[in-house]
Structure 1
Amino acid sequence: MRLLHRRGGGEVKRRILYVIGSLNVGGAERHLAQVAARLKARGWEPEVFAMSPRGPLAGFLEDANVPIHGTELPNWLSTALPNERLKARLNLVLTAIVLVLTMWWRRPHAVHFFLPAAYIVGGLASAFAFVPARIMSRRSLNNYQRSHPLFARIEHRLHPRMTLVCGNSEAVVRQLQDEGIDRSKLRLIYNGIETIPYERPFDIEQARKAMGIASDTTVFVIVANLIPYKGHSDLITAFSLIKPKLTRPWVLFCLGRDDGIAGELQLQINAAGLGENIRLLGARSDVPDFLRMADVGILCSHEEGFSNAVLESMAAGLPMVVTNVGGNAEAVVDNLTGYVVPPHNAALLGEALLRMAENPSRAKMGEAGRLRARQLFSMESCVDRYEAMYREVGADQQVH
């Protein structure tokens, strides 16, 4: 793959190297993979350096002809090291060295860091490689810094070295400004979503029948990995509070990878007598089907950047019940496309869910959300903004 494209009488630099922690299925990882694939189709040369290079999204990027770089400890060395802490440190050092070499070898015009670990390792590594432009994207609120103060100190040292810093919601951008980054260096790029999966013909009744759901059942859905801050425990408590008041049969589908709390959540579900109503389905590749068979979408996080899951649920025509964290209230308009409630409050969350379940106009709210998602949060407009940002830092400039 060549570093330069020809245009007119000169050549154009278009190589962007993304740095991210892994290629597992998560909101930031999926977003990066989709953006990189779209940029590739538009004639850019995106490449990805993943600190853990293999993962479910690696195949998607390879199918889009986006090169993947990275390294891991050889199996023989990993097996020979019984100390996990030592193994992690050696892997981190090896990753940093290989990343520096990759920057020298690939000569990108811009390096773009996604998520804190990649920012810290990549930001430090970029000091040893000539990179014309450095961009950091933060995709969540900085609550993680409270439990990792060293991360905060390193990030604050790296901020002045960045050419631009990007947030995916106004809430994130405000926090970045509070950390001392000049507003002139800050950019806002909302997440973008693919709407095509929600526009194809779909037999809702058949899909529900396959899941053993009667036609008069109210179907709730939450798409979020099983992590404490996603608020699943609050959600179970909320449903336990309103169960006696729900007038129709109901079911809640919980879609998302188990990060270690599924057992605790299942115990809570069983203790609340909700075993017939709440299903933990794990990570799924058919999320659009579940969204389209549902009646109400939920995201009850304690913290958030700007959730793709909310946008995808809106694109599927679902009225939303979300907590007022991060960019949730920027996506969902309270009382128009859904209900926005405070986080950490199972009682108010339950009231909103009950109100939505009994709301005869909820389909109109869902349709308003669908229109909003298409107009403001399409993947096309998102990638347009990425292109504008890369051109701003000098990519796509003609070289004679």
Structure 2
Amino acid sequence: MRLMFVVSSLDCGGAERHTLELASALSARGHVCDLVAMKAAHDEGWSRTMIADLPADLPLRILTLDARGHFDHSAVRRLSAELRQRRTQVVIAVNGYALIYATRALRAAAFEPRQRPALTLAYHSTRLRGIKEALQHALVTPLAWNCDQLIFVCDFQYRYWRRRGLHARHDAVIHNGIQHERYSPAARARWRGITRATLGFDDTDFVLGCCAQLRPEKNHQQLVDAVIALRQDGIPARALIVGEGRQRPLIERYVREHAASAQVTLVGHQDEVERYIAAFDVGVLCSVAHETFSLAALEQMAMGVPVVLSDQGGAREMVSDDVQGFVFPTSDTAALMQALRRLFPMEARQRMGEQAALQVATRFRHEQMLDRYERLFESLVGGVGQPAAIAPLSCSPP
């Protein structure tokens, strides 16, 4: 197949990372894949590192079109020319901004009906924050109706957007998947002692880890509050925060103001994040928005780390309370602390960590996810807008 993935930019986000990994994996299976970023990344360090880690002989072509705003005619013309020159069979627009450009470029290319690439919207967003996102959604919704396929990444997201009129000719759910070779209990056992010793953690420390960009909606301050409260209760809690972003000075100031510098460690962005996950006793995400189906949570679970997640997006599709961890009401610090107290006993952590690893191994493996995407795209190549034998909603593995 000849596939073209279109993203807004290659910034360090879950959707962008998922797309780069998906395009790379499909390229490795022999498909011709292009990855087009409409805008330059705000911080190109992450994308450079990710691209540098790809095999040198991987047939994945990556380019940036430097679009300005939503209606850059020059960027539309360039994308249109790419579609014709590359003889693309399926265009995968990732989220609304990319769909605006992909739709306009397909129109400008003026394909004959039998030659027109199938248009797919891969949607990673849940809920709208602010007027700007609401306006973009109003623009994107009618464009989605004309897409041949819309892919959601969890059942909650599918139901949420269907109620609000977002759908295409065909809809499907494909959950995110994790590379079990990299994120595994064995990798945790290999790195746990080394990383904890390097960071100065004792064996008795109750390390609460968070892997997330340092952005307002990730709500890192709530994790700091929980650590402080747990220590007041005599539990030796420590926070290990992995990630970088514009909120770092604010988080560091918050930690200092609450006299918690000795209990909170920020290590910035880490390319080999599995080494740091290995040091976690519990993974925590306190997000208040933009958490559709967390790759970070799945990675931690795959390594045998139980997780405590705010009730955002599809959190309850990966975690059942007291089985793989807990899901708590968003922003409810008392509920977060109650879940963490229940995970403090070693026996509880071990039991739920084993179940977390089993959940990913059986339901959210990378190869399973990749197979579903490949089958869906192959069905679209056979006839535009006519997926063959694809269930409208694929919620769980066969």
- Counterpart in the other structure of 2:90: 110
Q: Tell me what 1:79 maps to.
A: none
1:292 match = 278
Counterpart Cα distance in 2 of 1:124 and 1:157: 13
Q: Is the 8 A contact 1:33 1:61 kept in 2?
A: no
Query: Cα offset for 1:187?
Result: 0.5
Distance 1:121 1:183 in 2: 17
Name whichever of 57-66 and 296-305 sits farther off.
57-66
For the residue of structure 2 that corresponds to 1:108, the secondary structure is coil
Task: Verify the 8 A CA contact 1:70 1:95 in the aligned structure 2.
Answer: no
Aligned-pair CA distance for 1:234? 2.1
Distance 1:103 1:160 in 2: 21
Match of 1:208 among 196, 212, 227: 196
Contact 1:246 1:357 in 2 (8 A): no
Residue correspondence of structure 1 range 118-267 to structure 2 within 5 A: 118-129=98-109, 130=111, 131-144=116-129, 146-181=131-166, 185-197=170-182, 198=184, 199-200=186-187, 202-247=190-235, 249-258=236-245, 260-267=246-253
Letter in 1 for 2:307: M
Query: Residue type matched to 1:213 in 2?
Result: F
Contact 2:177 2:364 in 1 (8 A): yes
**Deviation, structure 1 residue 61:** 5.0
Map of 2:267 onto structure 1: 281
CA contact (8 A) 2:311 2:328 kept: yes
Matched, 1:346 2:333: yes
- Describe the SS at the equivalent of 2:249: helix
Between the aligned partners of 1:157 and 1:343, the Cα distance in structure 2 is 31
Matches within 5 A, 1:349-368: 349-358=336-345, 360-368=347-355
CA distance in 1, matches of 2:347, 2:70: 58
1:330 aligns with 317
Say yes or no: does 1:389 pair with 2:376.
yes
Partners of 1:182 and 1:149 in 2: CA distance: 16
Q: Which residue of 1 aligns with 2:64?
A: 70
In the other structure, the counterpart of 1:4 is none
What is the CA–CA distance in structure 1 between the aligned matches of 2:205 and 2:297, rounded to whole Å? 22
Say whether 1:100 aligns with 2:88: no
What letter is aligned with 1:193? Answer: I
1:328, distance to aligned residue in structure 2 (A): 1.0
Asked if 1:38 is matched to 2:38, the reply is: no
| Mapped partners of 2:70, 2:136: distance in 1 | 19
Relative to the length of structure 2, the TM-score reads 0.86
Matching of residues 295-306 of structure 1 within 5 Å: 295-303=281-289, 304-306=291-293
How many angstroms apart in 2 are the aligned matches of 1:90 and 1:145? 17
Preserved CA contact (<8 Å) 2:5 2:92: yes
Structure 1 position 378 matched with structure 2 position 365: yes
Query: How much does 1:393 deviate?
Result: 1.2
Residues 322 and 328 in structure 1, CA contact (< 8 A), matched pair in contact too: yes
How far residue 172 of structure 1 moved from its aligned partner, in angstroms, is: 1.2
TM-score (norm. length: structure 1): 0.86
The count of corresponding residues between Structure 1 and Structure 2 is 368
- SS of the counterpart of 2:381? coil
Q: Mean alpha-carbon deviation: is it higher for 274-283 or for 123-132?
A: 123-132
CA 1:33–1:323: 2 relative to 1, 3 Å: same
Of residues 41, 52, 69, the one that matches 1:59 is: 52
Pairwise CA RMSD of aligned residues? 2.3
- Separation (CA, whole Å) in 1 of partners of 2:272 and 2:170: 39
Contact 1:168 1:305 survives alignment (8 Å)? yes
What secondary structure does 2:60 align onto? Answer: coil
Rounded Cα–Cα distance in structure 1 between residues aligned with 2:6 and 2:54: 14
Q: In 2, Cα distance between the equivalents of 1:238 and 1:97? A: 52
Q: Match for residue 18 of structure 1?
A: 5
Structure 1 stretches lacking a partner, 5+ long:
1-13, 74-87
- Letter in structure 1 aligned against 2:29: R
User: What secondary structure sits across from 1:196 in the alignment?
Assistant: coil
Partner of 1:48, secondary structure, is strand
Offset, 1:71: 2.6
- Counterpart CA distance in 1 for 2:244 and 2:34 is 26
Q: Matched residues in 2 for 1:16 and 1:22: separation?
A: 18
Contact persistence 1:242–1:351 (CA under 8 A)? no
Partner Cα separation in structure 1 for residue 78 and residue 129 of structure 2: 27
Sort the Cα spacing of 1:107 and 1:268 in 2 relative to 1 into closer, same or farther, 3 A.
same
Local SS of the residue matching 1:136: strand
Secondary structure (helix, strand or coil) at the match of 1:239 reads helix
Are the counterparts in 1 of residues 174 and 373 from structure 2 also a CA contact under 8 Å? yes
Unaligned runs of 5+ in 2: 385-398
Answer whether contact 1:70 1:99 (CA < 8 A) is retained.
no
Q: State which drifts further: 176-185 or 324-333.
A: 176-185
